[in-house]
Chains A and B, each alone.
Chain A
Amino acid sequence: MTEPVLSVSDLTIALPEDGDRANAVTSVSFDVKPGEVLCLVGESGSGKSVIAFSCIGLLAKALKVQSGSIKLQGEELVGVSEDRLRDLRCTRIGMIFQEPMTALNPVMTCGDQIEEVLLEHTNYSAAERRTRVLNMIEQVHLPDPDRMYRSYPHQLSGGQRQRIMIAMALILEPVLLIADEPTTALDVTTQAQILKLIKELQGEKQTGVLFITHDFGVVAELGDSVAVLRQGELVEKDTTHKVLSNPQHPYTKMLIASVPKHEPPERKLIPESNKLVLKTEGLFKRYVTNTFSLGRQEVAAASDISIEIRKGETLGIVGESGSGKSTVARCVTRLIDISDGKVLISGEDIAKKAQRDLGDMRRKVQIVFQDPYRSLNPRRTIGQSIIEGPMNYGTSRKEALSEARELMSLVELDPDGLDRYPHQFSGGQRQRICIARALAMKPELLVADEAVSALDVSVQKQVLALLEDIRNSMQLAMLFITHDLRVAAQVCDSVAVMSNGKIVEYAAAKELFANPQHEYTKSLFEAAPGRHFKFAT
């Protein structure tokens, strides 16, 4: 029996007095063996990140380890001095974080940031440090190490930055790597590459990995074993294969069942006779920058976009970040001006209309944004937020309020909650409120811009079901923007795949998923984590 690199036993971490439960983590035990990848899975608030941070001694001051032990190769970490922890960080425990955009210091070059680790923990000469850093940059498969060394973080892409993070964490070959959702903020194709890199490096050096994630696809791709957390308690722990194909605990079952499937379900055909609610013809959005040194430069964020949505139909636009999918959503809603082309809303071209003439269109087209935490005014009750739109269009306060109550029931919230403030609701509830707010305007077209991306899978499933219900009962036309193919498969009648501002493939969902034509679509499918894994149903 090999000794585990990390052994957590009976760990309990208390939340501050005003927390929503007594403990962030309650008597959790698990081991990570050398060369093993243990995935810690849970929804937001399950305490998975708290465990990760406690293992490297970076818990927020408000959180205290109540009882239990954390042993690194047999050495107790609970209650050890800050100096000792500092010695261990990066030498024996490396850590990578979720946001590669903000986890690197913007005013230091990437090379210097990696070198800092050597400077702190070793006595290497300057020349030796440089060689080792360049070596490590090469090991994480970054092109042109010399240039990478000199680059600042903002000059690199998200995936490249995450590689720099990994280089930093692994340069001293720690026995344990803690990865806190390291691929969550990345595009699928980049995510696939980063997962492969982590697997490769940890396999070579037999590094133990504690991998925090909420995504069962990633678990299927990477994990040797899985531990499932709910509200700070470990509900199930076993090998990945066993847990994913034969979950025991009802919560695990529910989570796995919530993971959207790659195959689109059977759907009714949308009759050709249904009214065309949205039609764009040759839509272009160009951004022009005038700089002194470079002169006039033009970038097409969206080019030659022609799409159609009928009453009762959902069109999905799928693409990676920077593909132009949100640009299309903003053009269609005229939140930004359109450079060229036509946008017909129920037959009327709104592409070139002045903002003050868009009143009628503003009512017909409503949008639900990605982040439910930031898209509701925190200083207004949700009732005020919901009735503001209809009242602006002449509905009396009384009528708007009674409609708001009905809408609250429709989105499965308590109508009496109307006089509460957004912070009193959870993320999923807020997104329901945002949907109710959009529906209050009785729109013909509902644009959902990554509307379920910020939600946990179980909540995501519920919100998707709600959107589906509403579309059916109200016969709405829906434009559904998402980066997640699986989500698109669940709700869309047809799908347009965007890359570099262009639509590369546009087909009925069933056809597209069964038989993708374009190379880019195929590569997206290939990169989707856990695609080859047979999940329990």
Chain B
Amino acid sequence: MWAYLTRRLLSVIPVLLVVATIVFLMLRLTPGDPAANIAGDAATTEDIAKLRVELGLAEPLPVQFGIYIKNLVQGDFGESFYYKRSVISMVADGVGPTLSLALFTIVIACLVAVPLGTLAAYKQGSWLDRTVMGFSVVGFSVPVFVIGYVLIYFLSVKLGWFPVQGYQPINEGIVGWAYRLILPSTALSVIFIALIARMTRTSVLEVLNEDYIRTARAKGLASRKILLKHALRNAAVPIVTIIGIAIGILISGVVVTESVFVIPGLGLLTLDAIQGRDYPTVQALIILFSVVYVVINLVIDLLYTLLDPRIRY
């Protein structure tokens, strides 16, 4: 187990190296010059050239790459071209809002989707089942920004129940923090509810046909107990897998949601950084996201051993 864990953690290193290289190349191979961006419309060619030297972009690519990797290994992600602040501190500022949004979303999604999917499976073919499945098709197909603006229009603008935009850090009051997260999380969670509910339904349906469910019935257990104690736990492995994938996809959803609801998180930061060709910021964010992916996958794999005693590493 520990050997497995060590091996998995060590395997993060090559992954990060590959990611770091690809981000570096992609940024430099796509058109657009950060120096020209920063200098603005009125700048002369000399101004831009000077800026390029300052930003370290005048060196040949291999040299730039060498410096970049050397700094990375020392944990130095560099300074933002625009804000002249260390990238790490900027990312640190954005983590709170994004983590809040992501957690809130995934909790809402699981709390709604798993019971819905289970019920739909249990009542297969009923109106409930058909409604849940119908909803999940719609949930898949409507983009998050559409849901976001519709929610804002009705619940904030028309009814005034929620603030239109904005974020409040948790240390300024947990109620305000949660209150402001409700709308963006709901908007973002719709697609995940659709995804997880569907998977839960399929998985539970499969388990309900197993012999040990029949055994449980022959013991005289009530349906509710069979569903919760015998079916759901056996169906858990695929459900947990899909939740893991959902957390992965969540990152792209966060970018859109944060810009719709103006939440100062990593999503908004990413969007700004890419538009402004702020190389160091983009690089740091992408590397951070890939660490998150790897860690989520590891956590999911470890969860399997808790859920299913037959899985051992």
Contacts and interface: CB of A to CB of B under 8 A. Distances in A.
A99 B210 CA distance: 11
Measured as residues with beta carbon below 8 angstroms from the partner, the interface class of chain B is 20 to 34
Interface in B209-233: 210-212, 214-222, 225, 229-230, 233
A102 B308 contact: no
A168 B219 contact: yes
Interface in B7-52: 7
Query: In the complex, which range does the number of interface residues on chain A fall in?
Result: 20 to 34
A62 B308 CA distance: 32
Residue from A58, A99, A293 whose CB has the most chain B CB atoms within 10 Å: A293
A56 B218 contact: yes
Given A106-B308, A106-B310, A116 B219 contact: yes
Given A107-B233, A293-B3, A97 B215 contact: yes
Interface in A445-464: none
A58 B222 contact: no
Interface centre among A91, A103, A168 (most CB of B within 10 A): A103
A423 interface: no
A292 B4 contact: yes
B173 interface: no
Nearest to B216: A105
B309 A102 contact: no
Contacts of A168: 215, 219
Nearest to A98: B211
Contacts of A165: 215
B266 to A, nearest CB: 36
B259 interface: no
Contacts, number: 74
B99 interface: no
A95 B309 contact: no
A244 B295 CA distance: 66
B214 A97 contact: yes
Contacts of A58: 214, 217-218
A105 B221 contact: no
Interface in A103-129: 103-108, 116-117, 120-121
Given A86-B222, A116-B216, 4 more contacts: A105-B234, A106-B309, A106-B310, A117-B220
Interface of B: 3-4, 7, 210-212, 214-222, 225, 229-230, 233-234, 307-310
22 contacts: A86-B220, A86-B221, A86-B222, A87-B220, A89-B218, A90-B218, A97-B215, A102-B211, A103-B211, A103-B215, A105-B216, A105-B234, A106-B234, A106-B308, A106-B309, A106-B310, A107-B309, A116-B219, A117-B219, A154-B309, A165-B215, A168-B219
Interface of A: 56, 58, 85-91, 94-95, 97, 99, 102-108, 116-117, 120-121, 152, 154, 165, 168-169, 292-293
